[in-house]
Every structure is written in structure tokens, then in C-alpha cells.
Amino acid sequence: MQRTDEELVVLSTAGDTDSFNQLVVRWERPIFALAYRVIGREEDAKDVCQETFLRAFRALKGFKGRAKFSSWLYRIALNLCRDWARRERRTPMVTPLDADTEPAPLNGSLETAEELVVRRDLGRVITRAMTALSEEQRTTIVLKEYHGLTFQEIADLQGCPLSTVKTRLYQGLSVLRRQLQRSGVQGPASIVGLPPTALMARSRRKVVNKVVNLDR
């Protein structure tokens, strides 16, 4: 039976390094994906991911369980991303993961070459559209639509009221819709007439669906 995060944390604080390694294996990919989507540079995202777990390990005894372990990790990673942006004096750019790092199509079938090209092209369109958002809007969309956090979890991470999170999400999606429409994207299945499951990975499809159905 697989142990919960909380159980592994308790064992880790008692000195069981194998338990902490299990936490790393469980959360390494989501934390890397978050960092990559926020700062847009693979090597820097790897560094942020590594530093996130290093800091988590050092501070583990201070984790009181008031929030989920994953939310605690996200907070550490986001703070490191902000530190990176200040240090590099660059504006973080949300970068949806490309076909080499995103999950394969959901229907389990192999993509044709045409479908793969379309999925990559759509990723580039979304990347360009995301640059039109404020940092707060980008981060909110990434946490909600790509990582599945609740509004309350995002509010806790960003240190703002729940209503502010909802406003950032709605305004961000509205900007995205305008940007995607300018690029000719009216709906996820209408881009080249392919079914959405063959067109894009889960998180990217979810974002486009949310954008095109924003006022429905």
C-alpha cells in the first residue's frame, strides 16, 4: 500500500531518507513542470527543482501540516522562481511543456506526424499568448489549469483573497482568448478538424477548452 505524503514526511523527519526519496520521486516532475512553465528555461528549471527539494529537506522539521505537502513544495518553488527572475532581471515567461516533456495523447493511440506537428504548433501559440499576461495572471492559470490546485490553495500560495485569485483567472483567460482568436484558434477541435484527444496533451487541452468556453 502506497504511503501518503504526510506519512512519508513523518518518516523523513525521523531520519528515514528513503521516505524522503519517495517524496522526491513523486513530486519531482510536477515541480520541474511548474518551474519550467514559469521561467521558461529548462536548465534553470532543473536548478529550481533541485533547490526546491534541498530546501524542503532542510526545513522538513518545520513543516507543521497546516497545508498539503504539495502546496508547501509549490510555495518553495514559486519563491525560487521569483528569486531567479530578480537575480536574472528577466520577466518570467510561462512555457507550456512541449511534446518531448508533456504526456502522450490520452486515448493511448500513436500520434501521426501531422498530429504531432499540430500539437507542437498549438503549444507555441499558447506560449506567445501567455506572454501577454501579467505575472500574477500567468501563475494563477498555471497553478489552476495545469496543476489542478484549488482557488483556496492558490490564494494561500499567493497570499491574497480568494476573490483576487478568481479575478486573476478570469481576466487572464479573457486575455488568452483574445490572443488565441487573433492567432486563428476558435476552438480546440476546429484547428485542423482533429479530435481534441489527438490534438494536445491534457493540461493544454484543458486551458484551450476553458478559454473558448469562458462565457458559456
Exposed / middle / buried, residue 150 (Cβ in 10 Å: 0-12, 13-18, 19+): middle
Residue 1 has pLDDT above 90, yes or no: no
What pLDDT is stored for residue 196 in this prediction? 38
Instruction: Tell me if 40 sits within 8 A of 131, measured CB to CB.
Output: no
* Distance of alpha carbon 209 from alpha carbon 216, whole angstroms: 11
DSSP characters over 78-130: HHHHHHHHHHHT---------TTTSPPPTTSPPPPHHHHHHHHHHHHHHHHHH
Cα 199 to Cα 204: distance, rounded to the nearest angstrom: 10
Q: Which residue has the cell 499567493?
A: 158
pLDDT > 90 in the chain, percent: 38
* Whole-number pLDDT of residue 126: 75
Q: Where in the chain is the domain with CATH 1.10.10.10?
A: 113-212
Q: How many CA atoms lie less than 13 Å away from 167 in the CB half-sphere?
A: 5
Residue range 113-212 forms a domain whose CATH class is: mainly alpha
Write down the pLDDT at residue 6: 92
How do residues 34-79 score in pLDDT, each as one tens digit? 998 888 788 999 999 999 999 999 999 889 888 889 999 999 999 9
Q: What is the mean pLDDT of residues 195-207?
A: 46
Q: Which of 94-98, 147-151, 195-199, 207-211 has the highest mean pLDDT?
A: 147-151
- Which CATH number is 5-88 given? 1.10.1740.10
> Where do you find CATH 1.10.1740.10 in the chain?
5-88
Q: What does the pLDDT average to over 171-182? A: 85
pLDDT tens-digit profile of 81-122? 989 888 876 555 555 444 344 444 434 445 566 555 555 666
CB atoms within 10 A of CB 1: 3
